[in-house]
Amino acid sequence: MNIITLIKQVPDTTDIKTDPKTGNLIREGIESIINPDDRHAIEVAVSLKEKYKGKSIVVSMGPPQAIDAISEAIGMGIDEGILLADRNFGGADTWATSFTLGKAIEKINAYDLILCGRQAIDGDTAQIGPQVAEFLGLPQLTYVMDIEEVDDRRIIVKRGLGNGYERVESPLPALITVIGELNKPRYPRVDLLINACKENARITLWNAADLKVSVQEIGLSGSLTRVIKTFSPKVKREGEMLKGDKGEAVGQLIERLAGNYLI
Ligand SMILES: Cc1cc2nc3c(=O)[nH]c(=O)nc-3n(C[C@H](O)[C@H](O)[C@H](O)COP(=O)(O)OP(=O)(O)OC[C@H]3O[C@@H](n4cnc5c(N)ncnc54)[C@H](O)[C@@H]3O)c2cc1C
């Protein structure tokens, strides 16, 4: 079974701050990690490979430092990594990102299953998996919390619905997006990690020319949306001191709460 896992390197924080002047993410002083949902996807890929053999590849689009994320995935047991790195990929919205990832998957060609995290903790859109599936014309199973059965022709999964689940069967190849309940990702093995860093042969870099895409189709030029402004909402809390002795203050508090239908 050949499995492609899409992974994104993200800042190790959910407290995203943007530069008010440029609107860009402030990355200084923030460690980068593999997007948490993607670690669960890697765990699926490695476990399925251990069971069914075949090849597992991770693909990431990002700047050169995303090699660290790919090396960590190899440390967890993934066979190979491909980094889509080209200045022209920069500024991509989710449409252009999905198009570029889709082109890379088309180039790899041999796959039974594509795995994604449900959502990245920085961009937070949860659009990439479904868009890549649409681009490739594949069935998509999102919010996967359990893989019940899989063979080389079909997969049966449980999709988390918040207060329950849905059991769905799909033919392969298919794309699934996974959530944290699915498994417990393993830690990278030090020997595999060292090998990944030593043998860069296991990590391939592809640029726009490798994907045979034009500059107009990718990055900022290929994006259908433009960010006009980014800002952090200002949170204003207004406090009020209740007057009178304790008994009066409690009475007033109950009145306010009841008036706002809170009790
Ligand atoms: C309107 C708009 C404009 C944007 N403009 C810019 C910009 O100018 N510059 C800029 O840097 N970013 C920009 N972005 C952010 C960029 O589009 C996203 O970082 C990227 O498309 C991934 O979306 P996401 O983070 O929401 O991923 P999600 O859809 O939340 O991620 C789901 C899963 O998809 C996979 N995935 C996501 N991204 C990647 C990736 N790069 N490589 C491999 N797998 C991946 C992972 O498995 C991940 O768990 C913009 C986003 C929007 C919505």
CB 133, CB 98: distance < 8 Å: no
Chain segment 66-116, per-residue pLDDT in tens: 999 999 999 999 999 999 999 999 999 999 999 999 999 999 999 999 999
- Assign residue 143 the CATH number of its domain: 3.40.50.620
Average pLDDT value over all residues in the chain: 92
pLDDT reported for residue 126: 97
Confidence of residue 23 (pLDDT cuts 50, 70, 90): low
The reply to whether 7 falls in a domain is yes
The reply to whether 231 falls in a domain is no
The reply to whether 263 falls in a domain is no
The reply to whether 112 falls in a domain is yes
Q: What domain count does the chain have?
A: 1
Does the Cβ of 128 fall within 6 Å of ligand 1? yes
Ranking 73-77, 135-139, 244-248 by mean pLDDT, the lowest is: 244-248
The reply to whether 238 falls in a domain is no
Does the Cβ of 69 fall within 6 Å of ligand 1? no
Q: Which atom of ligand 1 is nearest to the CA of 131?
A: 29
Chain segment 190-229, per-residue pLDDT in tens: 988 888 777 667 899 999 999 999 999 999 999 999 888 8
Chain segment 31-60, per-residue pLDDT in tens: 899 999 999 999 999 999 999 999 999 999
Rounded to the nearest angstrom, the distance between the alpha carbon of 87 and the centre of ligand 1 is 16
CB 12, CB 33: distance < 8 Å: yes
Does the Cβ of 125 fall within 6 Å of ligand 1? yes
Confidence of residue 168 (pLDDT cuts 50, 70, 90): very high
